[in-house]
Amino acid sequence: MVTAGIYLTVRSNFLFELAPFTKDIMLYVGLATTLFAAFMALRQNDIKKVLAYSTVSQLGLMFVALGFGAYTVALFHVTTHAFFKALLFLGSGSVIHGMHEEQDIRKMGGLAKLMPVTHFTFLIGTMAISGIPLLSGFFSKDEIMAQALHHNTFVYVVLVIAVTMTAIYMFRLYFLTFHGAFRGGEALKSKVHESGLSMTLPLILLAVLSIFGGLLNLPGLFFKGAAHWFDHYLSHSTFGLSEVQNLHLDFNTSIGLMLFASAVAIGVMIWAYLNYAKKGALAKEDAALSGWERLSAQKLYIDEIYHAVFVRPLLAFSDFIGKVVDIQMLRNGIYALADGILYSANLTRKWQTGFLSSYLFWMIFGLITFIAYYILKLSVWH
């Protein structure tokens, strides 16, 4: 459901091509969405909340591509995102099931040995969404980054920040969940178990798709024969292929983009490993957070701002209406309206006599009145 808007926009591409201002709105709303949602995910400690904000951030990334008119590129990322995000969400469900409904990553740790299949598949999903080279997310995200560099350098710089934060919060989630010492207590540790085949088999299948999903739309730099197959498949009904062909990026620029994206993803993975696995850094308690960490944990206080700007005034207004208008005006007005309808019904129902002669009389009377009015109107005109 959350990606239905992307699909519908792609299907309606011919309309959006006629509305460039609307595309600009999509571009910058998507840019703000991918940046702010990624920032909010940095210090979330609920395993599902991290993935939820990650989905919002990835949707923003897709809308950036739509804002550039790269419809097939956006749909390509929708497809790869379906593989690795479904893997991550089902993987988090497997973790929660194995942890007996515990979702706080501050109470996890060391699950790699206790849940090996979930751990391995979750690692693949984390690497795919972070843009580790040759996995599905690397190819689709690189297409969007290339579009940004081609159209707007500022947008490209912001996207670099957003995708870097994506790698940071995902590897933070991975290492805090599966590495280090178990932090949930011995009683819970004794109950932790790997999920059954009904849960791990879908993880394995999605892990395979997360690895090889990029084959759907390989870049033309090295794969001439199978280049942009996904774009060609959709080109008969979208403008996305022309956007790909119009990217005048030379060989060195394309190589540079790939190397830079690879360096960022691998660099963040190494940093997260050293920080969380080697040094054993832990997620802070809420009371210990300050500065940007508190802003991230509190989701930029957007919920509080929304509550103050919309919820409280609406509740106060509703309370006023309930005390004043509802009792003294609204209720009396509704009763008066009901009485008026009942009175008018008592009058008009007398017209329905049930006699055919009466109905014929009023029908002929109406026809005579209409014809007389029409003749009189013609005589006035002449």
Residues 33 and 104 in one domain: yes
What pLDDT score does 237 carry? Answer: 72
Residues 41 and 167: beta-carbon distance below 8 Å: no
Please check whether residue 303 lies inside any domain of the structure: no
Structure tokens given for 143:
């297409």
Q: What are phi and psi of 46, to 5 degrees?
A: -85, 125
183-228: per-residue pLDDT in tens? 988 888 888 999 999 999 999 999 999 999 998 888 866 666 667 7
What pLDDT score does 222 carry? Answer: 63
What pLDDT score does 21 carry? Answer: 95
Q: What is the share, in percent, of the chain residues with pLDDT greater than 70?
A: 94
Exposed/middle/buried for 335, CB within 10 Å: 0-12, 13-18, 19+?
Answer: exposed
Residues 315 and 373 in one domain: no
Residues 161 and 212 in one domain: yes
What pLDDT score does 192 carry? Answer: 92
Categorize the per-residue pLDDT at 276 as very low, low, confident or very high, splitting at 50, 70 and 90.
very high
Structure tokens given for 363:
């029908």
Structure tokens given for 291:
């500065």
Q: Which residue has the higher pLDDT, 350 or 6?
A: 6
Averaged pLDDT, 53-81 = 94
Please check whether residue 302 lies inside any domain of the structure: no
Quote the number of domains for the chain.
3
Q: Is the pLDDT of residue 128 over 90?
A: yes
Please check whether residue 177 lies inside any domain of the structure: yes
pTM of the shown model: 0.81
Number of neighbours of residue 259 by Cβ within 10 angstroms? 11
What pLDDT score does 240 carry? Answer: 57
Residue of 144, 132, 110 whose CA lies nearest to 34: 144
Residues 221 and 322 in one domain: no
216-257: per-residue pLDDT in tens? 888 866 666 667 788 888 877 776 555 554 566 677 888 899
What pLDDT score does 233 carry? Answer: 82
Please check whether residue 240 lies inside any domain of the structure: yes
What pLDDT score does 129 carry? Answer: 96
Residues 126 and 270 in one domain: yes
Mean of the per-residue pLDDT values of the chain: 90
Please check whether residue 278 lies inside any domain of the structure: yes
What pLDDT score does 356 carry? Answer: 87
Residues 221 and 262 in one domain: yes
Residues 281 and 357 in one domain: no
CA angle centred on 268, ends 115 and 216, rounded to 5°:
75
Averaged pLDDT, 170-179 = 96
Separation between Cα atoms, residue 87 and residue 82, nearest integer Å: 8
Residues in Cβ contact with 36 at an 8 Å cutoff, skipping those fewer than 6 apart: 300
Please check whether residue 195 lies inside any domain of the structure: yes
Residues 359 and 269 in one domain: no
Residues 138 and 117 in one domain: yes
Number of neighbours of residue 269 by Cβ within 10 angstroms? 21
Please check whether residue 263 lies inside any domain of the structure: yes
> What is the Rg, in whole angstroms, of the alpha carbon atoms belonging to the chain?
31
Residues 80 and 211 in one domain: yes
Residue of 175, 132, 166, 159 whose CA lies nearest to 67: 159
Q: Is the pLDDT of residue 174 over 90?
A: yes
What pLDDT score does 219 carry? Answer: 80
Compute CA distances 321 → 312, 315, 331, 332, 337, whole Å: 14, 10, 11, 14, 19
Structure tokens given for 111:
């699950």
Averaged pLDDT, 334-363 = 87
Structure tokens given for 346:
């008592």
Averaged pLDDT, 285-303 = 91
What pLDDT score does 326 carry? Answer: 61
Q: For residue 333, give its domain range.
A: 308-347
Please check whether residue 285 lies inside any domain of the structure: yes
Q: Which residue has the higher pLDDT, 291 or 286?
A: 291
What pLDDT score does 58 carry? Answer: 96
Residues 240 and 372 in one domain: no
What pLDDT score does 325 carry? Answer: 67
Residues 269 and 341 in one domain: no
What pLDDT score does 43 carry? Answer: 94
